[in-house]
């Protein structure tokens, strides 16, 4: 797939690879709006990523964006953005291509569920094209306060911790260990409502998270390392994702 290529086109929306510096700047501007940075959000990882834009086909408005780093296997995990914040030594043993999805954001006025659906279709197309075996990244909660997310964090601790063989260890300067949280029987409805859409979708696919959250004051977020082994995704969910990723 060449830069600028359309990955998917369904209904009013299309997902395509960024073609040039102007496309990248548009994505960085949307990221800055969503993360609340002073101006466009950018870092050195932008230079080694592929950037995907989800747009309204009629107006051309950018509604959603994300970036992806494709790595040949776990031995290259230190090249990922997530490796700055998490000790990923255990994942170095993972065999097969891996891909990191980052800076996933949907504009604050983009409410149509089809936008998220199309974004996941684009991710699926890239995963299948690269024969990716593990998809991972940082899933971010807005703000650095714990109180609004107690149900979500309790549910993650209770049901969705990474398998021991892959579980990231703490590395960042400021972390919130789930084991230090007060006992809090989660309300599942509230827990899912509080979660970012990207994380909810990972969990529906059988995804898992780190046993702690990182407090990222630069982006004003709490984030958890999130992964899903492609082979572990339920077949029914794979069929749904492939159906979305299929050409119209």
pLDDT mean over 138-161:
95
Q: For residue 2, what pLDDT is reported?
A: 67
- 225 has a pLDDT exceeding 70: yes
Contact 99, 69 (CB under 8 A): yes
pLDDT of residue 138: 96
pTM: 0.94
Domains of the chain: 6-245 (3.40.630.30)
Query: How confident is residue 5, by pLDDT bands cut at 50, 70 and 90?
Result: confident
pLDDT tens figures, 12-43: 999 999 999 999 999 999 999 999 898 999 99
Residue 84 pLDDT greater than 90, yes or no: yes
Measuring CA to CA, which residue among 200, 233, 210 is closest to residue 83?
A: 210
Relative orientation angle of helices 235-245 and 113-129, to the nearest 10 degrees: 100
243 pLDDT tier (thresholds 50, 70, 90): confident
Give the pLDDT of residue 1: 65
Mean pLDDT of the chain: 94
- Of 106-110, 131-135, 235-239, highest mean pLDDT: 131-135
Which tens digits make up the pLDDT trace of 97-129? 999 999 999 999 998 999 999 999 999 999 999
């Amino acid at each position: 797939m060449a830069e600028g290529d359309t990955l998917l086109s369904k209904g009013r929306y299309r997902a395509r690879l960024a073609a040039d510096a102007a496309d990248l700047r548009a994505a960085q501007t949307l990221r800055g709006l969503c993360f609340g940075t002073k101006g466009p959000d950018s870092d050195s990882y932008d230079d080694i990523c592929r950037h995907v834009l989800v747009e309204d086909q009629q107006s051309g408005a950018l509604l959603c964006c994300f970036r992806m780093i494709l790595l040949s296997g776990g031995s290259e995990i230190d090249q990922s953005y997530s490796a700055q914040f998490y000790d990923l030594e255990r994942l170095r043993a993972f065999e097969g291509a891996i891909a990191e999805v980052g800076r996933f954001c949907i504009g604050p006025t983009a409410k149509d569920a089809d936008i998220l659906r199309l974004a996941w279709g684009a991710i699926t197309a890239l995963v299948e094209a690269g024969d990716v075996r593990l998809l991972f990244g940082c899933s971010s909660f807005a703000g650095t306060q714990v109180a609004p997310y107690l149900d979500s964090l309790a549910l993650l601790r209770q049901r969705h911790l990474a398998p021991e063989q892959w579980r990231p260890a703490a590395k960042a300067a400021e972390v919130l260990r789930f084991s230090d949280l007060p006992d809090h029987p989660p309300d599942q409805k509230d827990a899912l409502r509080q979660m970012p859409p990207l994380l909810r979708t990972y969990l529906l696919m059988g995804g898992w998270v780190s046993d702690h959250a990182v407090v990222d004051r630069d982006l004003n977020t709490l984030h958890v390392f999130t992964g899903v082994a492609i082979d572990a995704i339920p077949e029914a969910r794979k069929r749904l994702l492939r159906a979305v990723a299929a050409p119209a």
